[in-house]
Amino acid sequence: MPVPSKRVGLFTESVIRRMTRVAIAHNAINLSQGFPDFNPPAPIEEALEKVARKGPHQYAVTWGAANFRAALAEKQAPRMGIPIDPDKNIVVTCGSTEAMMASMMTACNPGDKVIVFSPFYENYAADAILSGAEPVYVPLHPPRFRFDPAELRAAFERHRPKALVLCNPSNPTGKVFTREELQVIADLAREFDSYVITDEVYEHIVYPPHRHTYFASLPGMAERTFSCSSLSKTYSITGWRLGYVIAPEALINEARKIHDFLTVGAASPLQEAAVTGLKLPASYYEGLGALYLKKRDLFLGLLREAGLSFNEPEGAYFVMVDVTGFGVEDDVAFAEWLAREVGVAGVPGSSFFRDEARKFIRFHFAKGEDVLREAGRRLKALREKAAGQPWR
């Protein structure tokens, strides 16, 4: 029997998706995999209903339907502060997952180094490894998850990375990088002639007084940035798998080739329906931010009532809960016990950290208020149920 690629053995299956299966098995509230339990905006649903009857139902242009790219460019150009030609600067992908992979394969050759901040969304290291590159980890230091500029410079000087991956707002920490932090990264990228691959899927979920700064908007950065995002979180359509890369024409031309052979193209009927979402007014995005701010404040209040410690997220819809007080040595076993015995599923923190940090459980709060309140009620029993367990 042939031996599988050694690259695959360098990472494990998705812990996030596995915790969803654990949640289902034990009928737990799933606060692990970050998808909403509510419907997308009504205009998008209505558009999808029309498309189901009228089409299109066949392939779109490989790199994205023309009207979708036009609507996306019209939406993003004023927000990002850069010119975006829908015919030259965009490739539409099957979710931001493929956008990141296509960008990584465009930027990197086998043997190149890629800087990844730790903690990180689990795909980033896998993307580098599958591209034949080697991830280099630079820590974000809790509780505010800031990087040390000296440590980042040392990583650039030692490894001469071809690219850096930047998730902003951050999954899993909820951190929003300040403009000053982004400028440090930009200066190093320019000095060492590196690309920056951004994951900005939570661009519209940012909590005051914090603000999201698109990395490509910094002076001189548009030419060396792969701006990756998706419609999943902005319009609550995670199952539609519509993502994109925005980059200079020369980079997009190469990314389109990779995209073509990875997936051929994103679903044409869903692109057609999603155009309606891309044309929603600015008030929609303001309302989205207000919706998640309310959910965040509700859930953080419930965590406080349960006596749990956490970092306050500045953006996205995740919160890292510190479980140090439970004496946890195996956070995976703890997370599985939490789902089984307490009825709330989260993600063990070690799946996000390079250095096996086992003091965190990540929860998400993209749920209805009734579900969040029930999760809070169950978590109140956590300390009592944990008494006498092996990790105490």
Least confident of 4-13, 67-76, 107-116, 159-168: 4-13
CB contact at 8 A, 86 and 72: yes
Domains 8-40+283-386 and 42-280 share a fold: no
Q: b/e per residue, 359-381, with b = 16+ CB within 10 A? A: bbbbbbbbbeeebbebbbebbee
Q: In the predicted model, what is the mean pLDDT of residues 109-133?
A: 95
Q: How many CB atoms lie within 10 A of CB 341?
A: 16
Q: What is the mean pLDDT of the chain?
A: 94
The string of pLDDT tens digits covering residues 143-200 is: 899 999 999 999 999 999 999 999 999 999 999 999 999 999 999 999 999 999 999 9
The string of pLDDT tens digits covering residues 269-305 is: 999 999 999 999 999 999 999 999 999 999 999 999 9
Q: Does domain 42-280 have CATH number 3.40.640.10?
A: yes
The string of pLDDT tens digits covering residues 87-111 is: 999 999 999 999 999 999 999 999 9
CA distance 341 to 378: 10
Q: In the predicted model, what is the mean pLDDT of residues 20-39?
A: 92
Beta strands in the chain (DSSP E): 29-30, 90-93, 113-118, 134-139, 163-167, 195-199, 225-230, 243-246, 309-310, 318-322, 344-345, 347-348, 360-364
Q: Is the per-residue pLDDT at 6 higher than 60?
A: no
CATH level 3 topology of 8-40+283-386: Aspartate Aminotransferase, domain 1 (3.90.1150)
In this prediction the pTM is 0.94
Tell me the CA end-to-end span of the chain in Å, nearest whole number.
46
List the structure tokens of 16.
């996030």
Q: What are phi and psi of 22, to 5 degrees?
A: -65, -40
pLDDT given at position 156: 98
Domain ranges (residues) in the chain? 8-40+283-386, 42-280
Would you give the DSSP letter of residue 338?
A: I
